[in-house]
Amino acid sequence: MNWDWGAVRDFMPHFWDGLLVTLQALALGSVISFALGLVWALLMRTPTRWVRWPVGVVTEFIRNTPLLVQLFFLFYVLPEWNITFSALTTGVVAIGLHYSTYTMQVYRAGIEGVPAGQWEAATALNLPLRHTWTAVILPQAIRRVVPALGNYVISMLKDTPMLMAITVLEMLGEARLYSQEHFQFTEPLTVIGVAFILVSYPASLLLRALERRLVR
């Protein structure tokens, strides 16, 4: 096998375009998953069964169906109901929605990990429920779960190549398109593999350091 540095040089503009799309999908998907996951977690703690039950059914359904199926559904089925988004928007929504059901469990564990004394202290001080959550419970809970949330960001990064299935040209999509047009597969796919390692491995090390710092 001959390594062609010229192919690498030619592919790099396509790589940067794909990297930008990948980072956009990752950033926006993370925001959706973190925000919606917290909403799911809070709704599951409401005393009203008619709120908890539908939320539980929806989140279990999303969590137990493949992300690829959800991508296809949003991209191909919703337009039949006159609901149309761009391919990238569809991918961002699908990733954020899918992973929100996992971050919900992370938030739930963090909330349940707050000592009972904190709830009792808030009650003793006669704090309104909203202030109890925003000033006492959530700051402690979120601090505990930051490393776990970071792990899901890495998982989302590794799932962004699935967006290629709905025509989004993220990194792998750009590599596939270049390979098909130039019949050069080794160089672009190797560049993509190295790029994922260079992003995900340092991120995992950072998360370990952050976890050690937060648990002190």
- Say how many C-beta atoms besides its own lie within 10 A of residue 91's C-beta: 30
181: left (phi over 0), alpha (psi -120 to 50) or beta: alpha
pLDDT (tens digit, 9 = 90+) per residue, 69-121? 999 999 999 999 999 999 999 999 999 999 999 999 999 999 988 888 888 88
pTM: 0.90
Token readout for 165 is 């299935």
Name the residue among 107, 86, 84, 83 with its Cα closest to residue 33: 107
pLDDT (tens digit, 9 = 90+) per residue, 30-76? 999 999 999 999 999 888 889 899 999 999 999 999 999 999 999 99
